Structure 1
Amino acid sequence: MGFPGVWMTESKSMIYRVVPKCACSTIGQIMFYSDHGRFFDGDIHDAAEGLHKWSQDHSKPLIEAAVAGHEAVTFTCVRNPYARILSSFFDKIAGIQRNGRRYRGNLVPQLAQQYGIDVGGPENNFDFDQIASFRRFLLFARDTIRWRRPMDPDIHWSAISGHVGTFIANGGRYDRIFFTEAFNDGMAQVLDAATIPVPVDPASVPRFNESEGHGPKRAHKVSDYFDDLSRHLI
């Protein structure tokens, strides 16, 4: 199976297991900067050079060898699951993607029909009942994870443990696992432990939230979205 979702700097200073919706864009840009002294111009997920990725055939043997020899500081980043799935909803379901379209084509119309989810749109300034729609989305997310219907679970709301665990199951070992909620401290520990060509200060790095500005703003604090049933589903 190899090491899906793994990125590595070209200098082999850091190996990172990507966990979607856990600051992965910012981490990827920091890794890129630490090698090249500049940020990637665009979404780091689209970068086809300057960063080794398991999805690139030429990178696979290099990543495999580096993981097997534990040649680099190896880490990942995790997040409170309540905040993470809420972020997934606002980005992937309620938001417009960077290509100007809805995520996964007809997914949102399908959710509107089958689960009664309303997420508004640019034409009405994304005016909708955020709490009610999010709780209905949770039912859909539960169905995908538990019964794989009406589709397989998406990487943006499947369990963090599934992403993190594949790396260990296939022979990898982590040096650091830190929280998105304590990002600067955790990322600084990784950078301090690595031998990087270009110094990086995490506190001065902009947050590369690729979904920001393309959808509704969260109108309530995180806890307001979760009633007793919602917490049970999580």
Structure 2
Amino acid sequence: MNFPGTWMTESESVVYRVVPKCACSTIGQIMYYSDHGQFFDGDIHDAKDGLHKWAHDDSKPLIATNVQSHKSYAFTCVRNPYTRILSSFFDKICGIQRSGNRYRGNLVPMIAQKYGIEVEGDFDQIKSFRRFLLFARDTIRWRKPMDPDIHWSDMSGHISTFIVNGGAYDNIFWTEKFNDGMQSVLDDIETPHKVTLQDIPRFNESEGHGPKRAHPVEDYFDDLSMHLVYEMYKKDFRLFKYDFEDPSNKMPLGEIDLDEIHAKLGD
């Protein structure tokens, strides 16, 4: 059984299914701190030790055994689909990555040519973002001109792999209510080092990669854009209780139902 995107503390106090663009840098650093009493020096995504990750071969059997027996508390975190796809655009399409290069090499030149996206200088953010949405939709619906990237593939898809392969979540919380959600996880687990959440900085590793968002969230989404977002993220809106009708409302409308999520994503 495979558990891609799954991280686990070395003490096996907690298991986390990473969902890109959903506070994963901060969560990873909290997990690292809870075991070691200090933060990882750098981007937690680059950590090769101090945290079990499915991407590391020696961690795979430990994670698989833990998850399939539900030995440890397991959780994940989700985000409003409107703000998540916007964040992906500014970070991955407009931004220069920590390597000093554009994301995925020729990706940006390719979609600039095929979709007319501009990302240089004082470009029209709304126009370019809406063209990016067409590209993202094409990758998700038709897997053309490439497979969807993990940063804009739907959250339900990430979260379902954990369930389909035999895992179960004890908690799924919203990025928009991060402190409440993360505290509810910490309240339910025992860690080698105590984590005082109000003292933890936010590790937004994508901040500064790209230009600042120049407009309110809702200005980027006209009727067609909303249709495309719903086409891509219908399950995410429904399962995680976000407001499709109003892009300006990033807050959820109801409570997450874990039983519903396990039933609908476990097929």
Q: Please, what TM-score do these two structures have when normalized by structure 1?
A: 0.96
> What is the letter of the counterpart of residue 104 of structure 2?
R
Task: Work out the CA distance in 1 between the residues paired with 2:173 and 2:146.
Answer: 31
Task: Work out the CA distance in 2 between the residues paired with 1:110 and 1:213.
Answer: 23
Alignment partner for residue 220 of structure 2, among 221, 225, 228?
225
What is residue 262 of structure 2 aligned with on the other side? none
**Percent of matched pairs sharing the same residue:** 74
> What is the letter of the counterpart of residue 224 of structure 2?
L
1:165 aligns with 2:160: yes
Q: Counterparts of 1:57-206 in structure 2 under 5 Å?
A: 57-120=57-120, 124=121, 127-206=122-201
> What is the letter of the counterpart of residue 131 of structure 2?
R
Aligned length: 229
For structure 1, the residue ranges without an aligned partner over 5 or more in a row are none
Q: Report the secondary structure of 1:27's partner residue.
A: helix
Q: Report the secondary structure of 2:160's partner residue.
A: helix
> What is the letter of the counterpart of residue 155 of structure 1?
I
> What is the letter of the counterpart of residue 209 of structure 2?
H
1:57-97 Cα offsets, whole Å, 9 max, x none, are 11111111111221211000000001000000000000110
Task: Work out the CA distance in 1 between the residues paired with 2:68 and 2:209.
Answer: 40
What is residue 209 of structure 1 aligned with on the other side? 204
Q: Report the secondary structure of 1:149's partner residue.
A: coil
For structure 2, the residue ranges without an aligned partner over 5 or more in a row are 230-267
RMSD of aligned C-alpha atoms? Answer: 0.8
Relative contact order, higher structure (CA 8 A, sep 6+)? 1
> What is the letter of the counterpart of residue 218 of structure 2?
S
Task: Work out the CA distance in 1 between the residues paired with 2:198 and 2:113.
Answer: 44
Q: Please, what TM-score do these two structures have when normalized by structure 2?
A: 0.84
> What is the letter of the counterpart of residue 86 of structure 2?
L
What is residue 31 of structure 1 aligned with on the other side? 31
> What is the letter of the counterpart of residue 74 of structure 2?
T
Task: Work out the CA distance in 2 between the residues paired with 1:66 and 1:174.
Answer: 13
